[in-house]
Structure 1
Amino acid sequence: MEPAPVGEDSAAPDEQAIQATVALEGDGACIARARRLAADFLTRVQADHGLPVSERAMDLTQLVVSELVTNALKYAPGPVLMDLRITGDAVEVVVWDGDPVLPVARAADVGRVGQHGLEIVMAIAQGFEAHREPVGKRITARIALVDDPGGAVAGRPPL
């Protein structure tokens, strides 16, 4: 299925919502496709709407998309919906799947092979939320569009 066009949603009359939605189903090829869709979306945000998007934001968004879509395809039955939307100075990556079980980040373990995706997303995202829906769950990660000139990572204050 092709992504819905970037355009207006139910925003205030003077505000234009910028978003794209796509249904994904299948194997690992659709994970790569989801990353390309995210990159294309942010490229259009820059070109069509003049919003700044740092190279870092582009890379982090593709990483978050890859991790969230991979988890949804691996652990949930049926199709996955991915919604990308600009909210203020950030991009939100929203992934819905049909499994109502909310993900739980495992304790850090450098010896563990795999299963670090949620840890990665939570470490690099400016915000992270997981909600049960009437059918399945919705995971939202928020990534700053531009790098903080003060050196903060993903819009967070330096440690």
Structure 2
Amino acid sequence: MEPVPVDEEAAAPDVPRLRASYALDGDGAWIAQARRLAADFLARARAEDGLPVSTRAVEITQLVVSELVTNARKYAPGPVRLDLRVLGDALEVSVRDGNPALPVARAADPGRIGQHGLEIVTAVARSLDVRQEPAGKCVTARISLLDAPAAG
């Protein structure tokens, strides 16, 4: 897996503009590698940019990456691209693949084995956007980098 160069945007002083793109192509280790890339990306955001990233955000990011990359690997031909981008207090995780068919979350069914990926992502992400692109589709989840304030 090799990083794909991304044009860097000019950032205002003290405002982190962090982005990374990875082409996932090759053997069956995609999912574990994608999870590791996402965790490393957030660790760099913490260390190099002083961005507050909760442990929970790292874990949720790895779960979301795992679900989205698994779906792309299962249902789409060819390479998959993982894009990570920090926007304010959130991380956008985008997975692009070559299948133009848009995924549809199925109705909740505790008896169903498998096919719960979009349900899981919808439950843990701030938002989920699915759109067709000229060469396939892009699924983007936005994840809060900070833990939600305690209720009460």
- TM-score, scaled to structure 1: 0.88
Q: Deviations over 1:45-92 (max 9, x none)?
A: 000000010010000000000000000010000000000110110011
Cα distance in structure 2, aligned partners of 1:8 and 1:135? 20
Aligned position for 2:124:
124
What does residue range 69-84 of structure 1 map to in structure 2 within 5 Å?
69-84=69-84
**Any runs of at least 4 consecutive aligned residues in structure 1 with deviations exceeding 3 A, and if so which?**
11-16
- TM-score, scaled to structure 2: 0.92
- The 3 A distance-change label for structure 1 pair 27 and 107 is farther
**How far did residue 30 of structure 1 move?**
1.1
- Asked if the contact 1:102/1:132 (under 8 Å) is kept, the reply is yes
Cα distance in structure 2, aligned partners of 1:28 and 1:148? 35
Cα distance in structure 2, aligned partners of 1:2 and 1:40? 14
> What RMSD, in angstroms, separates the aligned Cα atoms of the two structures?
1.9
Structure 2 counterpart SS, 1:37: helix
**How far did residue 3 of structure 1 move?**
2.2
Structure 2 counterpart SS, 1:119: helix
Aligned residues: 151
Cα distance in structure 2, aligned partners of 1:33 and 1:18? 20
- Asked if the contact 2:79/2:97 (under 8 Å) is kept, the reply is yes
Aligned position for 1:10:
9
- Asked if the contact 1:8/1:16 (under 8 Å) is kept, the reply is no
Q: Deviations over 1:23-48 (max 9, x none)?
A: 00234311100000000000000000
Structure 2 counterpart SS, 1:129: strand
Structure 2 counterpart SS, 1:106: coil
- Give the % identical residues: 63
Aligned position for 1:94:
94
- Asked if the contact 1:8/1:17 (under 8 Å) is kept, the reply is no
Aligned position for 1:48:
48
- Asked if the contact 2:16/2:49 (under 8 Å) is kept, the reply is no
- The 3 A distance-change label for structure 1 pair 145 and 13 is closer
Aligned position for 1:35:
35
**How far did residue 10 of structure 1 move?**
2.8
Give unpaired runs (5+ residues) of structure 2.
Answer: none
- Asked if the contact 2:67/2:118 (under 8 Å) is kept, the reply is yes
